[in-house]
Amino acid sequence: MSSHGGHGDKTPEPSSLAGNLPDIPQHDPTKGEPEANKLFRMVMKLEASDLHLKVGQPPMMRLRGDIRRADMPPMTQELMERLLLPLLTPRQRKILDEEGGVDYCHVVGKDECRFRVSLFRQRGKLSLVSRRVNNYIPSFKDLGLPDTIEKLCKFSEGLVVLAGVTGSGKSTTIAAMLDYINDSEPLHILTVEDPIEFTFTDRKSYINQREIGIDVRDWHKALKDAVRQDPDVILVGELRDVETFEAAVHAAETGHLVFGTIHASSAPTTINRILDLFPPEKHGAIRKALANNLKAIVAQKLVKGLKKSRVPTNEIMIVNPTIKKLIEQGQDLKLADAIKLFYEEGMVDFTENLKRLVDNGHIDKATALEWAPDPEKLKMAFKGIKVTGGGIL
C-alpha cells in the first residue's frame, strides 16, 4: 500500500507492472468462465491485493501496497461493459442503473478465490475496484494480531466494534475471531453481510451466513429476524446507520455477543463516530447504551511489513469501569490517556503497538514513525521513556 493505504495524499503515481501480460481474449464459452476472469486470475497469479479498472487506463493492481499499471492496452467503455456487465445478476444490474454503483462478491472457479467488488460509474463511464479475499481464514498468529484479540472472543454478550478505514483488514480480523469461536465452542454463529466475503466451515460451532439481497430482502429484515434465530454470536457487518446500530445494541442487550465494523481512525474517536449517527438530543441515551453494552473497540490499520507485505497495527480499548465512566460522562478526550493506564489488562494504543511491531522485527522504525499518531511520543518510547496517561480519574 502507499504510505497511507491508498487513502492518504501520498499515493504514488501508478507505475508500470513489470512483465508483458497477454491481451484479454474474447469469451470462450467452452471454458465455462466469464471473460473477466482473465483479469481476476492475473491478480491471483501476482498475489496482488486489489484490481482497479478504469476507462482510459490499462488494468491496474495494488502490489505490496502500491498501484501499478499492467503492460496492456487502455480499457474502453465497450470492453468494460463486455467484461463486467455479464457478471451482474438482474438485481445488481438494476442497483447499478438506479443508484450508480453496486457492491457484490465475485467467485473465480469453484471457490478458488473470492473478490469483493465495487462497480460504479464515474464521469458517465464504468469503473471497478476489487479486493482479493483469501479463501482460507487466517489465524490470529498468521495475521500478527495482539494476544488480547483472543480474550475479546470469550465475552458471552455485548458489542465488540472493529474500527478502521476501507482496506484496513477489519473483515479479515473479524473472520479470524469468528473462526476462533467456531473452533472453540459449541455455539450458533449468525452473520449478516453485504456481500458475504469469507465462507466458514462448521466445526464446534455451526454458522449461518445471510447475504443481503440474496438470502434476505434488506438489513432491517435480516436484523429483525436475527434475534429470533437463537444465535449466540451475531456479525452485523457495518454499523452504517441508526437502524443497524440500534439493532446491534438490542441484540447485545438481549444476551448475544455482537460484532460490527465502523469507519473510524482510532478507538477513542469511534465513540464520536457512533454518536454522529444520531441527533444531539439522543447522545445521552446512546452514551448510556454504549457504557452498558460495549465490551471493546479494536481500531486497525495496515502498514508495510518486513516479513509480510502488510501487517496490522492495532489499538485496543476494553470497556472496564474507568472507560465506562468516561464514555457515560462524555469525557472522550481522556480515553486515549486511559488506554495507557491499562496495558496490563490487554489494552494497547497505536504508539505502543507500533513499538512492539518494531521490537519483534515485523516493521522498520521509519514505517512505525510514519504511521504513529504522535511520532515524538513513539521516538520517546524507542528510547525507553514511558509516556503514561494522567489526570484520568
Instruction: Tell which phi-psi region holds residue 32, choosing left (phi > 0), alpha (psi between -120 and 50) or beta.
Output: left
Per the CB < 8 A criterion, the answer to whether 96 and 81 are in contact is no
Averaged pLDDT for residues 327-352:
95
Together in a domain, 177 and 97: no
Q: What is the reported pLDDT for 74?
A: 96
Q: What is the reported pLDDT for 4?
A: 39
pLDDT, one tens digit per residue, over 372-391 is 999 999 999 999 887 665 54
- Report d(CA 327, CA 268) in Å as an integer: 9
Q: What is the tally of structural domains in the chain?
A: 2
- pLDDT above 60 (res 10): no
Together in a domain, 154 and 51: no
Averaged pLDDT for residues 218-224:
87
Together in a domain, 127 and 267: no
Together in a domain, 208 and 350: yes
- pLDDT above 60 (res 358): yes
Sequence-ordered list of residues with C-beta below 8 angstroms from that of 328, at least 6 positions apart, any chain: 287, 288, 291
Q: What is the reported pLDDT for 24?
A: 46
CATH number, position 284: 3.40.50.300
In a domain, 111, yes or no: yes
β strands within the chain, DSSP E: 15-20, 50-54, 60-63, 66-71, 101-108, 113-122, 125-133, 158-163, 188-193, 206-211, 233-238, 257-262, 294-304, 310-318
pLDDT: is 241 or 24 the higher one?
241
> Any idea which of 12-26, 110-124, 194-208 has the lowest mean pLDDT?
12-26
End of a domain among 133, 148, 176?
A: 133
Q: What is the reported pLDDT for 114?
A: 87
Range of the domain at 93: 15-133
End of a domain among 133, 153, 172?
A: 133
Together in a domain, 283 and 305: yes
Together in a domain, 97 and 150: no
Find which of 59-63, 196-200, 307-311 is predicted with most confidence, using mean pLDDT: 59-63
In a domain, 371, yes or no: yes
- pLDDT above 80 (res 302): yes
- pLDDT above 80 (res 77): yes
End of a domain among 82, 110, 133?
A: 133
Q: What is the reported pLDDT for 8?
A: 40
Residue 189: count of CB within 10 angstroms of its CB: 23
In a domain, 388, yes or no: no
In a domain, 1, yes or no: no
pLDDT, one tens digit per residue, over 15-55 is 555 444 444 444 444 357 899 999 999 999 998 989 999 99
Together in a domain, 280 and 364: yes
In a domain, 116, yes or no: yes
CA dihedral 49, 240, 290, 236 (to 10 degrees): -70
- pLDDT above 90 (res 65): no
Cell for 107? Answer: 467467485
> Any idea which of 38-42, 133-137, 308-312 has the lowest mean pLDDT?
133-137
Together in a domain, 67 and 152: no
Averaged pLDDT for residues 119-130:
96
Average pLDDT, the chain: 89
Q: What is the reported pLDDT for 21?
A: 44
CATH number, position 29: 3.30.450.90
Together in a domain, 159 and 57: no
In a domain, 3, yes or no: no
In a domain, 2, yes or no: no
In a domain, 5, yes or no: no
Together in a domain, 224 and 243: yes
Read off the DSSP letter of residue 100: S
Together in a domain, 94 and 181: no
Together in a domain, 154 and 196: yes
Averaged pLDDT for residues 200-209:
96
Under the banding of pLDDT at 50, 70 and 90, the label for residue 73 is very high
